[in-house]
């Protein structure tokens, strides 16, 4: 039986909302959907508020005086970026989150929405990943520092709720993709990296492209606009300590992903595999039932439709990326 949910616009009426990372990939869509709900969100930019610095966090809260904080800001990247920057990925993400949530509690911000990452799950986790399995092992090594830094927001949220009664929630999105993604090959994730590689190879008349690993790992991808809607539904409807997955419930192997992107971009050359490069986590697929039951979220965009929209956007405006994204 379908739950009867409150009106979205009523929840946001009169509230001051800060969206960290709101100028980035995911954040820009969250801000757009807030605007559609009648909210003019405050988006702190890194040049004005470096959230790694405690003083900047305090200044932000004093100036914005938010009722709700949606914390999306993160230092992120693909496997290569994680391998090259483990210390800075750990430190920057940990310090941004821990200081901001503590300051929000002390400033009496009524609700804090923290975004985690699927990278927080153990390397070997039963499929589909259930939120209760989050502590059953160590994350995949190539992105463990990033995943653990974000995972500490869950520990902090639950601790602050237990000791202070603070209303902080923690969401775990799977891999995101869509328009406005980061297409910089030095730091991009797999889908934008492959789109860029296929289109450039096609334009140059190259006979082959090279992909990392052996193609065997599987991933679940969530279209960015669906993720933005899920975050706002959780902000409106969810007020509990347990973490919640946000996903699409669709799993695809990296081999099939490359083949699909090659077909949709029109690249007809060979696909070769550099097995000296890491595969990353063997499988990723989330159990999404808690989000459906707790706040009525399920993804709306089919994978191929989302890929087509992403490719069309990149063809029209090839420069993507953001200072902070999630």
Active site residues: 146
E-state strands within the chain: 17-20, 68-71, 111-115, 168-173, 175-177, 208-212, 218-223, 244-246, 251-253, 270-274
Place of tokens 């419930």: 249
Q: Measured in Å, how far apart are the chain's first and last C-alpha atoms?
A: 33
Bridge partners (DSSP) listed for residue 253: 218
- β-pairing verdict for 208-212 and 175-177: unpaired
Q: What is the rounded CA–CA span in Å between residue 100 and residue 152?
A: 13
Token match 């082959």: residue?
208
With CA atoms as reference, report the closest residue to 93 among 110, 111, 77. Answer: 77
Question: Whole-angstrom Cα distance, residue 230 to residue 221?
Answer: 14
Q: Which helix (H) or strand (E) covers residue 49, if one does?
A: none
Q: Is the peptide bond before 151 cis (omega within 30 degrees of 0)?
A: no
């Amino acid at each position: 039986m379908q739950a009867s949910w409150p009106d979205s616009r009523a929840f946001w009426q009169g509230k001051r909302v800060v969206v960290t990372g709101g100028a980035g990939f995911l954040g820009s869509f969250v801000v757009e959907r807030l605007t559609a709900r009648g909210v003019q969100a405050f988006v702190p930019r890194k040049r004005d508020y470096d959230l790694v610095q405690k003083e900047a966090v305090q200044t932000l809260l004093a100036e914005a005086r938010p009722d709700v904080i949606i914390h999306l800001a993160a230092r992120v990247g693909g496997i290569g970026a994680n391998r090259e920057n483990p210390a800075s990925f750990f430190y920057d993400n940990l310090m941004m989150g821990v200081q901001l949530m503590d300051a929000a509690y002390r400033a009496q911000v009524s609700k804090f929405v923290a975004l985690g990452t699927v990278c927080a799950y153990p390397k070997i986790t039963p499929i589909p990943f259930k939120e209760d399995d989050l502590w059953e092992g160590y994350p995949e090594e190539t992105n463990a520092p990033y995943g653990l830094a974000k995972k500490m927001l869950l520990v902090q949220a639950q601790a602050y709720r237990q000791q202070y009664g603070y209303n902080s929630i923690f969401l775990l999105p799977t891999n995101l993709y869509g328009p406005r993604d980061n297409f910089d090959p030095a730091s991009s994730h797999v889908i934008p990296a492959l789109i860029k590689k296929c289109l450039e190879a096609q334009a140059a008349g190259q006979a082959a492209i090279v992909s990392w690993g052996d193609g065997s790992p599987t991933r679940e991808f969530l279209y960015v606009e669906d993720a933005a809607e899920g975050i706002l539904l959780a902000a409106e409807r969810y007020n509990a300590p347990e973490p919640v997955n946000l996903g699409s419930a669709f799993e695809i192997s990296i081999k099939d992903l490359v083949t699909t992107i090659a077909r949709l971009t029109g690249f007809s050359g060979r696909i070769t595999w550099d097995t000296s490069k890491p595969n990353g986590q063997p499988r990723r697929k989330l159990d999404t039932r808690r989000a459906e039951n707790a706040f009525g979220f399920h993804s709306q965009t089919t994978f191929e439709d989302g890929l087509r929209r992403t490719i069309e956007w990149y063809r029209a405006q090839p420069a993507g990326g953001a200072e902070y994204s999630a």
